[in-house]
Amino acid sequence: MVNQNAYQLGANRSCIRDLFEYGRQRAAIVGEENVYDYSLGNPSIPSPPQVDEAVRQILLDTPTLQVHGYTSAVGDLATQQAIADDLNQRYNAGCRAEDFFIGCGAAPELVAVFRALAVPEGELLAIAPYFPEYKPFAEEAGLIFKVVPPDVPEFQIKLDAVEAMLTPNTQAVLVNSPNNPSGVVYTRQTLRALAELLTRKSEEYGHPIYIISDEPYRELAYGVEVPFVPTIYPHTIVCYSYSKSLSLPGERIGYVYVPQAAADSREIYAAVAGAARSAGHVCAPSLWQKVIARCAQLRPDLDAYDRNRRALYEGLTEMGYEMAKPDGAFYLFIKAPGGDANAFSEKAKKRDLLLVPGDGFGCPGYFRICYCVSYDMIQRSLPVFRALLND
């Protein structure tokens, strides 16, 4: 006998993975250059050269046993300190080394935070459109997962809908900015209004409602501010990842930050560490912790993404496609012509153009494009987008 929830999750690939695998099969038949695969968010710019250089240096100047040994369960102090110093320099955030739990990327960090906040009847509010994995993460952790409807067409946050969905059981509101899949960056004004609402409702209910800020795309913004949420709302728990910012998704490294100013900060921190422990997820990769200790201040060179973003946004808008302004991450979230994103995506698939329908993101009627692809592929795909409009 097997656990049915686990079985269903393992046996059924996500729609994104399905499309990606389909693209690989088609490429083998029609040729790589004839498939326009916008399915998967795998970074397409290399890590900054200092990252590889740091790996080389660490291997040269650190005893092998130290490079590959267990670190402290919550992470190396040097790594925690380097991250705290970087955030303090950028945001004057008052971070301390001991506020950081070094984790294996945003996914397991979110799981740990959800488990840490999962009290009986506890509810988690996600804002549509949202990263599809949130739902299984939250439900497996024991939280009731609720979705706030999207704020179309800007994809900021519908505050009246948030307010209507808050209850005395709400443990946290989950935000993700820059956003996957919309590419939208929540403005300071939006976040301030959310903070005011949560402050008021926390007082009314007599317990804090946390913001969980999922920030793998924090450094991927094109000329707009990405506010650091804990400086706007102290009861914020940050899940950060170097998967996208330093193009290291295969290395599994990131952190949870529980600000000192958050309500019950040390209890939350201990519960995150405990939740990670009971999930068997402690001691993030030692080599990569050492790399981050040396590279926490590095930022990606976004020129290639920005060029792709502009080519698609301008090209598609001019054809008549509608989308919110994509100021961050590497996604566009586009209104499906005709209104049915599944039908449109199927039609596109017949032309080997792979687009992810928005249903899984809690937002039917839209499809997602992931533009961490070659500029050349974008240029070749534009006529296909045009042809689809004329179909």
**What pairing do the DSSP bridges indicate for beta strands 254-257 and 236-241?**
antiparallel
Burial class (CB in 10 A: 0-12, 13-18, 19+), 233: buried
Check binding of 336 to ligand PLP (CB under 6 A): no
Name the phi and psi angles at 234, rounded to 5. -65, -25
Q: What angle do CA 162, 164, 166 make, to 5 degrees?
A: 65
> In b/e form, how buried is each residue of 170-196, taking b as 16+ CB within 10 angstroms?
bbbbbbbbbbbbbbbbbbeebbebbbe
Binding window for ligand PLP (CB under 6 A); candidates: 67-75, 90-98, 103-111, 273-281: 103-111
CB of 239 to ligand PLP, least distance (A): 7
The two tokens of residue 182 are: 């919309």
Amino acid symbol at 294: R
CB of 12 to ligand PLP, least distance (A): 18
**Closer residue to ligand PLP in complex, CB, 131/371:** 131
**Closer residue to ligand PLP in complex, CB, 14/199:** 14
**Closer residue to ligand PLP in complex, CB, 79/180:** 180
Check if the beta carbon of residue 341 is closer than 8 Å to that of residue 12.
Answer: no
Binding window for ligand PLP (CB under 6 A); candidates: 11-19, 160-168, 241-249, 369-377: 241-249
Check binding of 107 to ligand PLP (CB under 6 A): yes
- Specify the length of the chain in residues: 391
Check binding of 216 to ligand PLP (CB under 6 A): yes
CB of 302 to ligand PLP, least distance (A): 17
Which spans in 31-95 are helix H?
A: 49-61, 64-68, 77-91
Check binding of 230 to ligand PLP (CB under 6 A): no
CB of 323 to ligand PLP, least distance (A): 18
**Residue of 176, 187, 245, 308 interacting with ligand PLP (CB under 6 A):** 176
Check binding of 249 to ligand PLP (CB under 6 A): yes
Q: How many residues bind ligand PLP (CB under 6 A)?
A: 13
Check binding of 106 to ligand PLP (CB under 6 A): yes
